Structure 1
Amino acid sequence: MTSEGTSAGTRGALDGIRVVDFTEFAFMPSVAAILGDWGADVIKIEHPTRGDGTRGLLSVGAIPTGAWNYSWELNNRNKRGIGIDASQKQGQEIIRRLVEEADVFTVSLRQSALCKYGLDYETLRKANPRLIYVHGSGYGEEGDERERPGYDIAAYWARSGIMASLAGEGQTPPFVPVGMGDLSASLALAGGIGLALYARERTGLGQKVSLSLLGMGIWGCAVPLQSVIATGAEYPFHDRKRAVNPLWNTYRAKDGKWLVLASFQSDRYWPGFCRALERPDLERDPRFIDVPTRAANNVELITILDDVFATRDRDEWGKRLDSEEVIWGPAQTFPEVMNDPQVLANGYLTDVDHPALGPIRLVRNPIELSEMPPVVSRTAPELGQHTEEILMEVGYDWDDIIRLKEEEIVN
């Protein structure tokens, strides 16, 4: 849905909820943006001159930001912006006044800084017992490394075991696309906030909600990690040439494009798979007749399948596999994803009218609510764009605002 298509009467699931967002970069700003998608009034706090560090990025990973800062727009949609210098006593007081009237406070500073500024949970809950206080970190709330800074590539991918599991013995662990851990964690944390708001409706009490990138990474790879816990054996690297189940493997088609077979119950799909390949001889071949024999002769079967898949383009194989209801998926590039008819049909990308850039397309929050769908109704704010109106909402008058600007407390 475009912002133009949002009617004045449309209500979001979080209409009437005010969120104060004091976060930077991707993980935690995305949490608040998701709440904004669901109708919350989100106030983004930034330093009055530097702003969020994302504003100054010339590239995200290896990709230049280009004509518009796509990371900033993605993670800060549906917010109003205010510039406050939190290092100053008066700036801290402004933040506390905002939080006193808020339902949710999202923050990503380290605990020592929060205590220094008087913005820690124990302090703020005394002023607002109904507050849902949300803290995101790299490595969790406890332990010797609770203050350690961490982006998703370090805390989510590397520390959790995911990165090493993708490399075979002696191979270089692969890098992964930027932000995958950040945005997965943000969606999970937004759900935790919703649960805390529901609990508040029942009890009248707020509480602290926290999530670390490390914790989300551990949960993301819970199945392989659980197998190691249960068996004591290292989780095996997937070598496609020696996959135990050749129907749980990747293959390259004639056009050079890859597909993945995901037939976990391979006996169930084996007859249809052989029909799709037009290789009825394989179905009754004693080397491949069931799970144990295919596992015992996996290298030989994978060699045969490599040769077969090299005879047709991926799209043609897709139609044949679909006709037999064999579970598979195309290993798409991102340019292919942005034009995927299924992606477009489900509205996973949304068009937004930007006041300075004109029409832009953003990736949309994928959670579907049938009566109150997520909507991008506001593009990311300019630095301090709504400072005056927000200050006036919490009791400051124009004389106060002029003084705070002259003292460089706000912008």
Structure 2
Amino acid sequence: MKGLEGLKVIELAGYVAAPACPRILGEMGAEIIKIEPFTGDEQRTQSASHGMLKTDVEDPSFDMSSINKNWLAVNLKTDEGREFAYKLIETADIFITSFRDKALERLGMDYETIHKKFPHIVWGQMRGYGERGPEKDSKGFDATSYSARGGLITAFPQKGESPVNVVSAFGDFNAAIDLAAGVLAALVRKDRTGEGDKVVVNLYHTAVWAMQIAVVSRQFGREYPRSRKEVPCPSNNCYQTKDGVWFMICYGNYNKYFEDMCHAFGLEQLIGNKELDTLEALGKNGKNVDVIRYFEEAFAKKNWNEWEVIFKKWDMPYQKCFTIDDIISDEEAYDNDILRHINYDAFGDRVIPTSPIRFGSIGDPELWLNKPVGYDTIEYMKKYGYSEEQIDKLIADGVIKAYKGKKLNFNKVKKGPGL
């Protein structure tokens, strides 16, 4: 057995946050069965808004949340459609949805219904907001529930600047990992008790969890947004070199490494200055701004390649502030299978991130791309005992939608680091 091999997951979800969870489970080896409406997941419409191109078959924007899935199109508003979906769920282990409560109740896919029919199922839901409170029935998206309400848009920019544009789906992909952790934990409980459980993650909560330091430190007077020229810890800050390279140093233990930094940065004259050598002193006297200025002036005297030699010599935690272009060309990302190459027929060679969790029994996972609406419907109906005649009737009655085109190749993701 490799990873989650043998585990079956049913997905009834749209956009990114919830669908990215089954994608992660799929890379772990689970079988993912996605149920779409006949019009498809609305994420199929988002390529232009993300600045990408697509064809009728290839959609890099959709691939990000939809790798390693089997694609069924079922009209769940029909009795026959629900009957087929229940057959799928009965033989599954996990059910993932992002539908809102009232829609789930109308479709018979809410937790109470599913748990009563199939008590072994782990039922997972991704929400915009919590199950209680005034927003419980509101639409919630990454941009609104996570980035806007979660404070990222206003806390991330430099003090005095306008709100930032957070990368689309930034919160979605992070929340997906939370949901994956939750349903796998519930699966452990099910294996011990025989009973499934309800697992709920919401985008707003995920954002506030990640913003803990801001939330708690604000109660002690720390300002957000903040200026890098005023941060409490000068050794956990961004600076710029003589040749214009921005970089980050991350010495949270300023007190311990103050003398080392003075030697490395050519600021020996500061050694022994009790007003500057501890964070406690800086917090009282406000001279953190002076230390930041000293560091800025020192870093402006040498180019990046010179500073990198010094940082390595002193074993300092540092990192150049990468652009997206830097990431795409980063050898580290390919050596560790963080980025994987895809050869699209329409777009040529592109790269896509893999999920960050690795099983020793799997190694670098096999990946295949998203498929057209209903591509696997007939195959799965046959697996569950439907005859050709029954399938044809269900198609004619508008219960299912099946892909009727030529067989397509979705195994375009190259395995292994780099080209």
TM over 0.5: yes
Tell me if 1:90 matches 2:90: no
When residues 171 and 336 of structure 1 are mapped into structure 2, their CA distance, relative to the original with a 3 A threshold, is closer
The reply to whether residue 196 of structure 1 matches residue 186 of structure 2 is yes
Is 1:269 aligned to 2:257, yes or no? yes
In structure 1, how many angstroms separate the alpha carbons of the residues matched to 2:85 and 2:345? 28
8 Å Cα contact 1:365/1:374 also seen in 2: no
- Aligned to 2:199, the other structure's residue is in SS state strand
Query: Following superposition of structure 1 onto structure 2, how do residues 9-408 of structure 1 map, counting pairs within 5 Å?
Result: 11-48=1-38, 50-61=39-50, 63-65=51-53, 68-167=58-157, 171-228=161-218, 231=219, 233=221, 235-284=223-272, 288-292=276-280, 296-352=286-342, 360-373=350-363, 375-408=365-398
The corresponding residue for 2:412 is none
Contact residue 272 and residue 326 of structure 1 kept, 8 A? no
CA–CA distance in 2 between the matches of 1:218 and 1:128?
33
Residues 350-380 of structure 1 deviation map (CA, whole Å, 9 limit, x = unaligned): 2356688776532011112223335133222
- Contact 1:156–1:216 (Cα < 8 Å) also in 2: yes
The answer on whether the counterparts of 1:33 and 1:77 sit within 8 Å (CA) in structure 2 is yes
Is the alpha carbon distance of 1:241 and 1:232 closer, same or farther for their aligned partners in structure 2, counting shifts above 3 Å? closer
Letter in 1 for 2:365: V
- With structure 1 as the length reference, what TM-score do the two structures score? 0.89
- Measure how far apart 1:206 and its partner are: 0.8
What is the identity, as a one-letter code, of the residue corresponding to 1:376?
Answer: E
Amino acid at match of 2:109: L
The Cα of 1:112 is off from its aligned counterpart by: 0.2
CA distance in 1, matches of 2:137, 2:299: 51
Q: Distance in 1 between matches of 2:281 and 2:162?
A: 33
SS in 1 for 2:32: strand
Residues 309-340 of structure 1: per-residue CA shift (max 9 Å, x gap): 22333343223112112222221111101222
Following superposition, the deviation at residue 122 of structure 1 comes to 1.2
Q: What one-letter code is carried by the residue in structure 2 that aligns with 1:92?
A: R
Secondary structure, aligned partner of 2:400: coil
Deviations 1:287-311 (A, max 9, x none): 6344455553333332332222223
Distance 1:127 1:279, change over 3 A: same
Whose relative contact order is higher, 1 or 2, with alpha carbons under 8 Å and at least 6 apart?
A: 1
SS at match of 1:114: helix
Corresponding residue for residue 4 of structure 1: none
How many residues matched? 397
Segment drifting more, 364-373 vs 195-204: 364-373
- Classify 1:170/1:357 alpha carbon distance in 2 versus 1 (closer, same or farther; 3 Å): closer
CA separation in 2, counterparts of 1:335 and 1:92?
A: 46
Paired amino acid for 1:27: A
Tell me how far 1:187 sits from its aligned partner: 0.8
User: Which residue does 1:5 correspond to in 2?
Assistant: none
Structure 1 position 263, deviation (Å)? 1.1
Structure 2 CA distance, aligned partners of 1:362 and 1:83? Answer: 26
User: Gaps spanning 5+ residues in structure 2: where?
Assistant: 402-419
1:34 partner amino acid:
I
Identity %: 26
Do the aligned partners of 1:25 and 1:54 also contact (CA within 8 Å) in 2? yes
Structure 1 residues 245-285: Cα deviation after superposition (integer angstroms, max 9, x where no partner): 22122111223221112111112222222232233333345
- Greater alpha carbon shift after TM alignment, 280-289 vs 27-36: 280-289
Task: Please give the alpha-carbon distance, in whole angstroms, between the structure 2 residues aligned to 1:410 and 1:31.
Answer: 25
Q: Quote how far apart the aligned CAs of 1:118 are.
A: 1.1
Equivalent residue letter for 2:197 = Q
Q: 209-218 or 91-100: which moved more?
A: 91-100
Deviates more, 1:359-368 or 1:133-142: 359-368
Q: What is the rounded CA distance, in whole Å, between the counterparts of 2:95 and 2:367 in structure 1? A: 21
In 1, the alpha carbon distance for the partners of 2:275 and 2:24 equals 52
- Tell me how large the CA RMSD over aligned residues is: 2.4
> Which residue identity does 2:360 align to in structure 1?
S
